[in-house]
Amino acid sequence: MKSKFLLVFIFLLNGMFAFAQQPQDVQLAEQYFSNGEYDKAVVLYEKLQGKNPGNSQFYQNYFKCLTELKQFDDAEKMIRKQIKKFPDDLSYYVDLGNTFHLQENEKQATAQYDEAIKLIAPNMPQINKLANRFISYGLIDYGIQTYQQARKIFNAQSSDLYLNELAGLYRRNGNVSATIKTYIDILQSDPAQKEQVQTDLQPLIEDAQYSKELQSELYRRIQKNPEVEQLNDMLVWYYIQKKDFTSAFQQVKAMDKRNKEEGQRIYQFAQSAFDEGNYDAAIGAYKYIISEKGKSSFLYLPSRSNILTAQQTKITVLNNYTNDDLLKLEKDYEDFLTEFGKGPQTLSVMRDFANFEAKYLHNADKAISILQEAVSIPTPNYKLNASLKLDLGDAQLIKNEVWESLLLYGQVDKTFKDDELGEKARFKNAKLSFYMGDFDWSQTQLDVLKSATSELVANDAIALSVFITDNMGLDTTPEPMKIYARADLLIFQNRNDEAIKTLDSLTNIYPSHSLNDDVLFEKGRIYLSERKYTEAAQLFDKIDESYSFDILGDDAMFQLAELYENYLHDNTKAMELYKEILTKYKGSIYTVEARKRFRALRGDQVN
């Protein structure tokens, strides 16, 4: 009896010893393996894998050791044992094929790969594992065959099963036609994937081959199935990506007429064109809605409103307009308000109209009159009412009615204390203090706004605060800053000639002051707004020559590069300047945009 207990005890003790020994073997094997000591690691992994045939890590490391040591016969035997134990795992055939490949026996390697494809069963985890094993060896064609065979087995011709995987592999193989066809198959199988398909295609169509193939494939499929909406939508999206708004508009008009729609598709296209900066295309689309759908359409009023927005934005952004353009837009605003009246639904248009009068027609009195009327109109949109008050405060400041501006800014600040609108109002008050030469009080307000919830307000507050500190810190007199602040106010008030004279007086009285580069920069911006491009370029160039070490050096060079690109139409010079920003101002906030624009001008494909 005692001997029986002793045998059991010895058996348990051996088991405990083996259990304790295995983690030590694993650790030692991993150490040898990571050090590339495969001759030492292989001995340990042979034992570990033999005892744990289902452990994929042991298997992979053991297989790696055997192939590195060129022990191919042992590798083949080991893999064949795995195949017998785990017949559903077809990835072992790929490893076996790779063993033959390493011995330059391509016939045998191919036989194993083909066998794996032949044995594919409706088991999705194993299919994925097999495909991934092929891909890991760079056998992309076999990865494609795996997914193709899987689709046949699952009878998935009308579904999107494995299509995303196939599209990626076709792309890796450089098969342009198959890649495009597969993405369109995905779209037709599951229209809900439209955004993802567009995201995947967007970088591809920067390549001329993919672009041409996508257009051709869409044409082919639309001709066969003109009623399939997602194909037509994709073609419109393609045209917009290629900036071909004329073709896109023709397509959406055809869809609108064919489907007897109410204009929503046209309206959506107009908004996309606006977002892409093609204001003429947006205006044309809105006009189509107005003329074709008529006043009874629910899109009539927003289309009439959005035309005005597009026209004003075009003037603002492109800075290429005549006085007749301004007068025509003024009449369009007046016609709109005559047709729709002045009420809660037209407050936004009234606001835009007032800002247009103040900033472009320099008619502050008319702007004030429009805004005063707008503020008095009851509306549940309290934030819009507050924005109107801020605009009215700005218009009053243009008229030099400082007290009225302070009062209006203060009202918004009080009502929206913990809102971004309140922060915006407080910044306007701080800027007003700056204009008036009260720099200490301005700085006090700005210090609070540095932590504003609005990133824009916080950044503006930091910039103005730093500007005051940099230019007041060492001065014994605040007079130069007061002159500069007066000029800044004059610019805000559209009194550019007086502003230039004031800025010139600063440099005449204080020829060596730290503000001199700021004076040049402000004058350059004035000339730019007045479309005096040559004069503006000379001033920005002078900053680069004389003040490149200062904070405005990169700002001036970027403004100069933009000026040559957009207004002087000298792309060679613009490229030169964008490139210089990359080398001269490596830490500049403009480096990313400068690199992008340089590459675009050079003709690179920029995503």
- Whether 383 shows a pLDDT value over 60: the answer reads yes
Give domain status of residue 121, yes or no: no
- Closest C-alpha among 598, 564, 560 to residue 579: 598
Contacts of 348 (CB under 8 A, 6+ apart): 305, 384
Please indicate, yes or no, whether residues 514 and 405 belong to a single structural domain of this protein. no
Number of domains in the chain: 2
Same domain, 375 and 482: no
Q: Is pLDDT at 269 greater than 60 in this prediction? A: yes
- Give yes or no for residue 450 having a pLDDT over 80: yes
- d(CA 522, CA 528) in angstroms, rounded, equals 10
User: Does 499 share its domain with 598?
Assistant: yes
* Same-domain status, 590 and 496: yes
Residue for token pair 């983690």: 23
Q: What is the pLDDT of residues 124-166, one digit of tens each?
A: 999 999 999 999 999 999 999 999 999 999 998 888 999 999 9
| Token couple for 181 | 């066809």
Q: What is the CATH number of the domain that holds 486?
A: 1.25.40.10
Q: Is the pLDDT of residue 15 over 70?
A: no
Domain boundary among 415, 435, 453: 415
Domain that holds residue 407: 322-415
Q: What is the pLDDT of residues 303-312, one digit of tens each?
A: 999 999 999 9
Residues 478 and 598 in one domain: yes
Report the sign of the C-alpha dihedral through residues 476, 480, 484, 489, in that order. Answer: positive
At residue 546, the pLDDT reads: 87
Average pLDDT, the chain: 91
Of the candidates 335, 351, 259, the residue with the CA atom closest to the CA atom of residue 290: 335
The region, left, alpha or beta by phi > 0 then psi within -120 to 50, assigned to residue 138 is left
Task: Tell me, yes or no, whether 495 and 379 share the same domain.
Answer: no
Measure CA 120 to chain center.
Answer: 42
With respect to residue 592, please indicate whether it lies within any of the assigned structural domains.
yes
Mean pLDDT throughout 463-469?
A: 92
Q: H-type helices in 91-162, by residue range?
A: 91-102, 106-118, 124-136, 140-153
Structure token pair of residue 382: 């309290």
CA distances to 69, 320, 488, 568 from 532, in Å: 76, 12, 19, 10
- Asked if residue 588 has pLDDT above 90, the reply is no
341: left (phi over 0), alpha (psi -120 to 50) or beta: left
Return the C-alpha torsion angle 364, 369, 375, 376, nearest 10: 170
Whole-number Å distance between alpha carbons of 43 and 63: 12
Give the Å distances, CA to CA, from 139 to 13, 167, 342, 523: 49, 15, 69, 64
**3-state SS track over 200-246:** HHHHHCCCHHHHHHHHHHHHHHHHHCCCCHHHHHHHHHHHHHCCCHH
Q: Which two tokens stand for residue 48?
A: 């570990």
The CA distance from 522 to 539, in Å, is: 9
Rounded average pLDDT over 177-192: 94
The answer to whether residues 390 and 483 belong to one domain is no
If asked whether residues 407 and 492 sit together in one domain, one would say no
- Number of Cβ within a 10 Å radius of residue 238: 20
**For position 351, which CATH number holds?**
1.25.40
Whether residues 481 and 369 fall in one domain: no
| pLDDT value for 474 | 60
- CA-CA distance, 387 to 374, in Å (whole number)? 11
- CA distance linking residue 190 with residue 193, whole number of Å: 6
pLDDT at residue 600, as a whole number? 86
- With respect to residue 487, please indicate whether it lies within any of the assigned structural domains: yes
Question: Is 344 a residue whose pLDDT tops 80?
Answer: yes
Two structure tokens written together for 284: 């044309």
Q: Which tokens sit at 337?
A: 């308000």
Does 545 map to a domain?
A: yes
Instruction: From 354, 359, 346, select the one nearest 316 (Cα to Cα).
Output: 359
Confidence of residue 56 (pLDDT cuts 50, 70, 90): confident
- Shared domain for 496 and 577, answered yes or no, is yes
Place of tokens 């017998």: 84
- Among 24-28, 322-326, 551-555, the range with the most confident prediction by mean pLDDT is 322-326
In a domain, 523, yes or no: yes
- Both tokens of residue 514? 């730290």
Nearest to 22 by CA among 67, 58, 54, 64: 58
Q: Does 486 share its domain with 390?
A: no
User: 215-253, pLDDT tens digit by residue?
Assistant: 999 999 999 988 889 999 999 999 999 999 999 999 999
Percentages helix, strand, coil for the chain, rounded to the nearest 5?
A: 80, 0, 20
Domain annotation covers residue 563? yes
Token pair belonging to 77: 């035997």
Q: How far is CA 373 from CA 253, 268, 312, 344, 351, in A?
A: 39, 32, 21, 11, 10
Report how many helices (DSSP H) and strands (DSSP E) the chain contains, helices first: 32, 0
DSSP line for 483-537:
HHHHHHHHHHTT-HHHHHHHHHHHHHH-TT-TTHHHHHHHHHHHHHHTT-HHHHH
Does residue 247 sit within a domain? no
Give the span between the Cα atoms of 146 and 135, in whole angstroms. 10
11 in a structural domain:
no
Contact 183, 171 (CB under 8 A): no
Q: Report the amino acid identity of residue 144.
A: I
- Residue 600, classified by CB atoms within 10 Å of its CB into exposed (0-12), middle (13-18) or buried (19+), is middle
Same domain for 399 and 485, yes or no, is: no
Q: Is the pLDDT of residue 476 over 70?
A: no
